[in-house]
Each structure stands twice: as C-alpha cells, then as structure tokens.
Amino acid sequence: MQRPNTNNSTNAEQPIESLFIDECLPSNCVDAVTNLMSYHPTYLDIYRTTQNFILRGDGPLPCDYRHYIAIMAAGRHQCSYLINMQKQEFLMQGGNQLWLKGLDYIPQKLRDLYEINKILAHRPWMLNKSHIEKLTKAQDSWSLAEVIHALVLLAHFHSLASFVFGSGINDEPRYFDNPNLTSGEPVLTLNPPPHSSKQKQDTQKLDNKAFKVESPVAMSPTEPEVGVDTLMERMKSLSERSEEVSAEEYTKRFEHVESQSAELSASISQNTPMIKADLSHFVDDPKFAYVDFAHRGVPTFRVQDYSWDDHGYSLVNGLYSEVGNLLDEKFKTTANLTYNTMGGRRDVDTTVFRRAIWNYCQCMYGIRHDDYDYGEVNQLVERSLKAFIKTACCFPERLTKRNCDKVMREFLHSEKIHVNLMILEARMQAELMYALRAMMHYTT
C-alpha cells in the first residue's frame, strides 16, 4: 500500500496557540503533557491529531471502552497522571461509574483484553496468534477491527506512561492537589506555551519552526557525563566513517549491546513503588514485569522479517482506516525531528545520535535493525543515558523527577523532551510490531 505524501511544513506554520485551544480540558486547563510537547509544535500537531482520532474519532470501539482501555494500559505502569485524566474523560463520555471501582466491575469483553494488555506492556515478544484468537472467539467476541483499535490504544498509553515518568510529570503533586474532585480531575497550571508569541523573550527561526532560546539544564553533583563537545566529535566521526562491516560482525555488535543492557539492571533502581490503594483495583498480576534478554529465551525480532514500513502499516490501515497514516506520520516526524542544535550549539547534524536512541530503545525489546551498526550505540549513548532509557522503556514507574534531572545535564530542556519523545515513539512502534505480527499470523 502506498503512503500518502506528508509535508510537515504546513503543520509547523500552524500557530501553537491553536493547538493549545484544541487541547483545553473542560476545566479550561491545558494538560501537562501538551504543555511539554509544545516545545516541539510539529510533533505536537500530529500527536494531538492521532490521539484525538483514536479516542474520539470514527472507530469500531465505543468511546467509554476507549477511555477504559487507556486506564487499563496506564495501570500497568501505575501512572496516576494518565489514569486520573482518563477517568475524567471516561465519565464525560457517559461511562458507567461502577466500572471505576475496578476490573471486577467491567464487562467480560473488556476483561478478556487484560491478558494482552499485561503482555504487551512488559513482554510483547510473548504475544502470539492464540491471544488474538481468544478475543475473536470468546463468548462476547471482538471483531478484528476492534482488536486493532484496542492494540493501538494499549501501545499508545503504555508508551505515553514512559513519557510522563521520563519527563517527571507523574512526580509533580500539584497536578492532583484538589481533594474535592471525586472524578479524579487533574488540576493543572497552564504555562504559556514555550513558542507562544505571548512570551516576552527572543526567539530564533530554525527550519521554519519556532525555537526557544534556553540555557542548559543545571548540572547536578553526580558522576561526570561525556560532554556535548565530545559527543559532537563522535557524531561527526561516525557520520564521515566509511567502514565496511560484515553481517556476522553486525550480529555480534547487536548481541553485545543486548548483553550490556542486561547488565544495566544492577544500576537501575529495583524499588518498584507500592501500588497505591486508588490504583490497585485497575491492576491484575502486578508482579508480571519486563524480563531481560538473558532470561527470556526467544529469538531476536529482525526488522528485515517484519517491519512497520513493509507489514504493520498496511495491516493497521486495512482494518482501522486512517490510523496507519497517522501513526506513520507520527513515527517519521519524531525520527526526523531536528533543529540542528545540541546543548546550545548550532548547525549540528544529530542524525546518528537520534538513530542510536531510537534503535537502542527497540533493542530493549529484542528488535534488531539488520542494516544498523550497534557499535554506534556504545559510542553515542553513555551508561547513565542507557540506564535512563531502559528504565523509561521497561520500568517507567521507577523513575522519579530526580532521576530525570540527573541525565543529559548539558542538554537544553527542550532537547531532553525531544529524547523522551523518541523513547515514547520507538517503544510504541516496538509494541505494535509484535502485536501486528501476532495479528498477521492469526489472519494468514
């Protein structure tokens, strides 16, 4: 299936204020996710369009089901911020308040989805056609279009939880500081969008997108990081390199990065927060979690055999019209997003760094890009950033605001948000690739 041509220049010229108006809640507040994503208005535009479509646009699932599926997905990572936001939306769509008492009170059809929710959130490589078959042949069966819709919602909110924790949003109590709200409505402080003309500060125009003049994030008294200047030298060297690498060597370098990722577990906080009483009823089997490569005993997922571009895109679009187009544009917008800056330096080609972040995220899930040299990951992604990425992808509930502040300390705040966007989208694409491969095996 041919993709339509997408041109982001039109989206980039859309006033950022109009995006904020579209995202306003009934309480006349802009949610914190939108507020942070507004550092990157081109991305915010396609993110907003996609989320609005899967939650409120034409589709096979009723609106109350959509928001409850979002609650179920956010519950796997104990994401209070998203759960409270979606509880509010669920009630606004006429959802049955009894369902908010927990999983024991929802229709069996929704309950049947929970196993896939759990697997997709933590061990997506376990998903197979039998899980799809159970849904489509259950007493209250799911259509294939409904399954696709649900899979997209689950992957969207699992990965959005990574962004929420990775950006420190869930660690901010001011978002939930009104005890009088019984619906879980978040109370948010609306800051002017970083690119708004209302802000009285100088701006530069980079690639036809507004870019806020910032100072680097304050340094923290922790272990030293590789500086931005050194990172830029490495990026330049890799961009100019013309080394020929054999297929066997590519495989060895991928496996080396995999094994290093498993070793990182020792440096990642093992303190999974206790599930709060007001969240526990949305979580079943809370001990089911991510397992490192060395312990899972499954073959690598090779993009050469099943990819989003060649397989997933057309399958989604065939069963849930237009969603494939939106997701494809969102993935490409994120992967290609650049202002050619790093830590305040201008005219920097960040292509190899962005590709290393994306591919390392998907490496967490055993996904290998055959034409990529994973040796670049070890040169460009230092240990502290690897630990942050792994935690954000696999255990986001373990991240705190302090963790977020300790990494990428020479980056601008907008650049740290940019890295979190790449984590969000790379994880979502990884989940969908496993889910859609299972769907393909079921339908063929």
Residues with catalytic function = 79
- Widest distance between CA atoms in the chain: 64
- Where are any strands of DSSP class E within 318-405? 341-342, 345-346, 367-368
- 30: which DSSP letter? B
Listed in sequence order, the residues at least 6 apart from 326 whose beta carbon sits closer than 8 Å to its beta carbon are 46, 49, 50, 53
Cα 8 from Cα 335, distance rounded (Å): 13
Cα 155 from Cα 70, distance rounded (Å): 9
Specify whether the CB–CB gap between 101 and 146 falls below 8 A. Answer: no
Query: Which of 59, 71, 31, 76 has its CA nearest to residue 172?
Result: 31
Q: Work out whether strand 367-368 and strand 203-206 pair parallel, antiparallel, or are unpaired.
A: unpaired
Query: Which of 154, 169, 185 has its CA nearest to residue 67?
Result: 154
Radius of gyration of the chain (CA): 21
Number of Cβ within a 10 Å radius of residue 265: 16
- Where are any strands of DSSP class E within 135-251? 203-206, 209-212
Q: What are phi and psi of 17, to 5 degrees?
A: -60, -35
- Where are any strands of DSSP class E within 174-233? 203-206, 209-212
Looking up tokens 């039998």 gives: 130
Which phi-psi region, left, alpha or beta, contains residue 52 (left: φ > 0; alpha: ψ -120 to 50)? alpha
